[in-house]
Amino acid sequence: MDSAALRAVVVTGASAGIGEEFARQLAVSGHHLVLVARRLDRLEALASELKARHNIQALCIASDLARTDAAETLAAELEAKQVQVTGLVNNAGFGDRGSVQALPLQRQLDMIQVNVTSLVDLTWRLLPGLKAVPNSFVINVASTAAFQAGPNMAVYYASKAFVLSFSEALHEEVKGDGVAVSALCPGATDSEFASEANMTNTLLFKAGTMTPEAVVRKALDARRRAIVIPGLKNLLLVWMGKLSPRMITRRLAGWLQA
Ligand SMILES: NC(=O)c1ccc[n+]([C@@H]2O[C@H](COP(=O)([O-])OP(=O)(O)OC[C@H]3O[C@@H](n4cnc5c(N)ncnc54)[C@H](OP(=O)(O)O)[C@@H]3O)[C@@H](O)[C@H]2O)c1
């Protein structure tokens, strides 16, 4: 990478919700950005706003992370644009409510591709570059869903359990190389997620949500920790779940999103 390279943080799923907020808070602290999602118009509007308000550069890359070649294409594009990646926020993801049998198979396979496979693929491709810069970081957005099975959202919960386990292991593997890896585990958060996942009327979301601002502030402040659970309520729920039999926690999760 030559001296003309743009040193930037890559944020996937930056067109809405938590990812958009990551872009906003990273811009405030002066990070150059690469914004990734399918809705390029939204990314471009956000990039224009952040460039106007802060002294940063922001590139936009349209990518459908449900495609099996998405991470490879994205990594190639970053190299072609001479981006030196200093941080990676693997945030893009979605869920859907319904039984395994009722939800379309392709929707569930796409969920695994976006939430799990593309996340691993992109991390693997960008990790050598991250090891080459000091104080680099990877934030993988998991969920409090990662801590128990979730009847009626089986694949989503399993995908987040994977992200949590993968991130914890990677945290240990690369901390000696100066790369901080953390799994961010938000609970219900006010974004487009609930409507996309058909969850707006569930007890889980009716019981109250956090703002993306608060979630992201905690994630960035605590990014050297292996696991970050924003919000006292979410922390208590996770700890209560750890102390309860799995039979109880999975039934409770199913009840909260019935
Ligand atoms: N909100 C919650 O209650 C909550 C709780 C725990 C964890 N999370 C996790 O937080 C992360 C962000 O979710 P959010 O709450 O901010 O939801 P959101 O408002 O729906 O945003 C999701 C983002 O992911 C992107 N995305 C979805 N599918 C994609 C695809 N195939 N290719 C590329 N990008 C894709 C979307 O962009 P495009 O549609 O433009 O592609 C969007 O930018 C997700 O991993 C989610 O599982 C959310």
Mode of pairing for the β-strands spanning 32-37 and 179-184? unpaired
Is residue 156 among the annotated active site residues? yes
Q: Please report the domains of the chain, with CATH numbers, ordered by start residue.
A: 6-256 (3.40.50.720)
- What dihedral angle (degrees, nearest 10) is formed by the CA atoms of 209, 211, 215, 221? -140
> What was the pLDDT predicted at 258?
85
DSSP string, 123-135: HHHHHHHHHTSTT
Q: What are phi and psi of 36, to 5 degrees?
A: -125, 135
- Measure 2 CA to ligand 1 centroid, in angstroms: 33
Q: Which candidate, 61, 228, 56, places its Cα nearest to that of 138? A: 228
Q: Which tens digits make up the pLDDT trace of 177-196?
A: 999 999 999 999 999 999 99
The first and second tokens of residue 189, run together, are 């958060």
Token pair belonging to 129: 């570059």
Dihedral Cα 204, 207, 211, 217, nearest 10 deg: -80
Q: Which atom of ligand 1 is nearest to the CA of 39?
A: 40
Are residues 22 and 88 in contact, defined by beta-carbon separation less than 8 angstroms?
no
The protein residue with its alpha carbon nearest to ligand 1, atom 44, reads 93
Residue ranges for the chain with pLDDT beneath 50: 1
Give the number of the atom of ligand 1 that is nearest the alpha carbon of residue 21.
16
> What was the pLDDT predicted at 257?
87
Beta strands 227-228; 83-90: pairing state: unpaired
* Cβ < 6 A, ligand 1 pocket: 13-19, 37-39, 63-66, 91-95, 114, 141, 143, 186, 188-189, 191-193, 196
pLDDT per position as a tens digit, 211-233: 999 999 999 999 999 999 999 99
Written as one string, the DSSP assignment of 27-61 is HHTT-EEEEEES-HHHHHHHHHHHHHHSS--EEEE
